[in-house]
Structure 1
Amino acid sequence: MRDQSIQSLAKGPALPDRQANSDTVATLASRQRDGETPHEVRKAVLFKAARDAIYVGKIRGNLKNLLDTLIGHIPNDAPKPICPASAQFLGNKLGCKGRTLRDQIARLGKVGIVENLCLDNGRRYVERDRTGRIIDIAGIDLSPLYDQADELAYEAARKQDAYNDRLQLGRQVSRKRGIVRRMLGADQLPADLATIWAELPRRLGELGIEALKLVVDKVDRIIAAISPDRQINAARPADSGQQYITDQTNSDPCNRAIPAGKKGEPENRQPTKPPTCGLENVGLPQVLRAAPQDWQVEMDLHGQPSWHTFAGVASERAKRLGIDPTAWAIAQGAIGAPGAAVIVMLGDAQSVERGGKVRSVGGWVRRMAERAEGGTAHLNRTLFGLLNKETEPC
């Protein structure tokens, strides 16, 4: 009976009202295809269920060694997941005395993880017939744990999802607080907003998801209430006099929708070789959709978005990220200031701090600037990769 359920689990358990835990089902199915026997699949389910039971708090972590030992000593041909190992063997294996062992097994039984099927005197045994087939077995039965494997996997997945949501919300709060501080500079918040700011909790680690959502909403209200004409100068886009907007002559951008050159530049300037940076058919709305949320917030503060505003925001970001002005100048000289801004945005969006793979944004920007200068940047691939990641289903 149990072997049939093992095979059905390997194919994938039916959970009509929830998504099956992929770490359990998919892995076991692949093992079954690789030739793993049913008893190995059963033990894998039990080991995973034991970890999930600890993770969701059904049992304490100090019982993990006992559970792993019990699971590991279930006979391969046992008709049920029963461990017949003696108390003395388990005590020696775990390095604990008999009374401690009995207490731990009793705690597992109390929470419905195991069932004690030992004889009255606590003896365990395995009886086999002449062919070696088990006809009777007594010991610690782990069938209750096995029967709860799907439910425990579901609860563990829910807890992990909640943890990830809390982590993401906490990062949002931290980033948006930083935006408010950078926008205000040395100035103070107006009285109405200062009250909201003062009520924000400083420690986020102990807050639940709903409480974190309220904090995010309050910070969003503060950001929305602060306009560019109210005490805010720190987040304004950089003008042509700042260090990242260089005075060198710009080449034509690869996207004809991006403004090229500087004002007052002679119209009869000899055209340079058309660059191929991958932005030929990329529009500003696509770039803004791929940008991190705090970039979008800063862009929204300046009304109607434009490539000039985007370049100014990126130049300020480049300073805060510690990007070498030379790298900006190389990129600007190759594909214009808006193109250089796209490179900085892509590097920041893929940084390790945002969950990406770019460990050094400055180094990545320099490499991409050099590739842009050589006509091999292919920025569209990175941009569309970010857009596809944003549209992946949860």
Structure 2
Amino acid sequence: MNPEQPDRHDQRKALYRAAKDVTYVLKLRPGLKALLDVLIDHIPNGAPRPVSPAAMQRLADKLGCEDRAIRYRIARLVRLGLVTNRCLANGRRHVQRARTGTIVHVAGIDLSPLLDTAWDWADRAADKKDAYARRARLRFQISEKRGALVRAFRGEEMPADLEALWSGLPRDIAKLGLAALEVLVDKVDRLISVTLADQKSFAGQPEECDRAYITDQGQSESCNPAMPAGKRAQEKPPRQTPRCGLEHVSLRQAVMAAPDDWRIEMERHGRSSWHILAGIAYQRARALGVSPSAWALAQNAVGTNGAAIIVMMADAKSHARGGPVRSVGGWVRRMAERAEKGTATLHRALFGLLHEEAVPC
């Protein structure tokens, strides 16, 4: 028993779904699908039947083509049994209404055949999608089994009977149908079970030529407790970042020593942190003339927080603020080089800013 037909309010939605299913099943060209959508759009509300009275010129303007192309597409849809041409004798289309405004007759392209078979097209589309998925799975299985056969006889000559069976298998399986793929899977399975039952590669056993791969590992103290103590003592400890007195500097002291515009910008973030201070220093470094190499040198010498303090102090001591530093970039590079050697006393310079005293580094 067929399902009930959708009411008039759901006709347009059902027609859109049917047009999509028909396009997928029959592989309609985009022009035919676009014409179906435009015809559905122009079905008047309240029409007794799903008839589209859209004029030929309006359809041509909507689709951006000539009238003869529209006529050809409509004839194609009629031959496919999707629509019926119910235009007047002279090809005119119109909508006739009663005095109450109710539509009593519509002349145009009737989409009732498409609506009547909407459920059938939906079933056919679902079956086609399912068949496509099954074909994809079968193609994958065949490719995997073929690869196993090739790997099993790699470096060996294939027997004559197996070579004959192998040559009889189709090479291009992309265009094979579902039934042909199922037959091909059975053939490949029988081929594997008959000729390769005793192959170790299919039994999951390693071949005799397979050997464990062992990497060369150097001796370490944990793995070799017998290592001489003198040799362990000769190993260099990891390089530590010079502190240069920055371990005595707190975040509060760094913020208090910063220029006023630095503190105002930090207040915009709502809180103070080393991360925010480093971000401000990195943004202002280029404007102050600090090259990326100088910033990288300072960051490598005393870390990101230390580099931020160096840039901040260079800005505070700059000639533009009435200080003695004429080249901020050069001062940052010089302090970074001294910090890398461990001869800088950056905390004294910062405390000098706090007490408004010019203490040399």
Task: Give the TM-score range, shorter chain.
Answer: 0.5 to 0.7
The correspondence of residues 321-332 of structure 1 with structure 2, limited to 5 A, is none
The amino acid across from 2:111 in the alignment is L
- Which consecutive residues of structure 1, in runs of 5 or more, have no partner in the other structure? 8-37, 245-394
CA drift of 1:47 comes to 1.4
Give 3-state SS (helix, strand or coil) of 2:26's partner: coil
2:276 matched residue in structure 1: none
- The answer to whether the 8 A contact 1:183-1:232 is kept is yes
Give 3-state SS (helix, strand or coil) of 2:104's partner: strand
Match of 1:164 among 106, 127, 133: 133
2:160 matched residue in structure 1: 191
CA drift of 1:243 comes to 4.5
TM-score (norm 2): 0.53
After superposition, give the CA deviation of every residue in 1:231-251 in whole Å (9 maximum; x if it has no partner): 85995248996349xxxxxxx
Match of 1:74 among 7, 27, 43: 43
- The 1:229–1:101 alpha-carbon spacing in structure 2 relative to 1, beyond 3 Å, is closer
1:153 matched residue in structure 2: 122
The correspondence of residues 208-227 of structure 1 with structure 2, limited to 5 A, is 208-227=177-196
CA distance in 2, matches of 1:114, 1:210: 33
CA drift of 1:180 comes to 1.6
- The 1:103–1:163 alpha-carbon spacing in structure 2 relative to 1, beyond 3 Å, is same
Give 3-state SS (helix, strand or coil) of 2:124's partner: helix
CA drift of 1:59 comes to 4.9
Q: Give identity over the alignment, percent.
A: 47
1:105 aligns with 2:105: no
CA drift of 1:227 comes to 4.4
Q: Does 229-238 or 47-56 show the bigger shift?
A: 229-238
After superposition, give the CA deviation of every residue in 1:98-153 in whole Å (9 maximum; x if it has no partner): 22212221221122111111111211111223433212221111001111111222
The correspondence of residues 290-301 of structure 1 with structure 2, limited to 5 A, is none
- Which consecutive residues of structure 2, in runs of 5 or more, have no partner in the other structure? 215-361
Give 3-state SS (helix, strand or coil) of 1:44's partner: helix
1:129 aligns with 2:98: yes
1:6 matched residue in structure 2: 6
1:242 aligns with 2:212: yes
1:49 aligns with 2:24: no
CA distance in 2, matches of 1:209, 1:138: 44
CA drift of 1:64 comes to 0.9
- The answer to whether the 8 A contact 1:183-1:234 is kept is no
1:138 aligns with 2:90: no
CA distance in 2, matches of 1:187, 1:164: 36
- The answer to whether the 8 A contact 1:59-1:108 is kept is no
Give 3-state SS (helix, strand or coil) of 2:174's partner: coil
2:170 matched residue in structure 1: 201
The amino acid across from 2:212 in the alignment is Q
1:270 matched residue in structure 2: none
2:87 matched residue in structure 1: 118
CA distance in 2, matches of 1:127, 1:228: 78
CA distance in 1, matches of 2:183, 2:159: 21
- The answer to whether the 8 A contact 2:42-2:54 is kept is yes
Match of 1:180 among 135, 149, 157: 149
After superposition, give the CA deviation of every residue in 1:38-90 in whole Å (9 maximum; x if it has no partner): 42x21121112112222222854431111110011111221211111111111
- The answer to whether the 8 A contact 1:184-1:234 is kept is no
TM-score (norm 1): 0.49
CA distance in 1, matches of 2:101, 2:148: 72
The amino acid across from 2:142 in the alignment is V
CA distance in 2, matches of 1:180, 1:109: 52
CA drift of 1:217 comes to 1.7
- The 1:231–1:5 alpha-carbon spacing in structure 2 relative to 1, beyond 3 Å, is closer
RMSD of aligned C-alpha atoms?
A: 2.9
The correspondence of residues 246-285 of structure 1 with structure 2, limited to 5 A, is none
Report how many residues are paired.
212
- The answer to whether the 8 A contact 1:127-1:135 is kept is yes
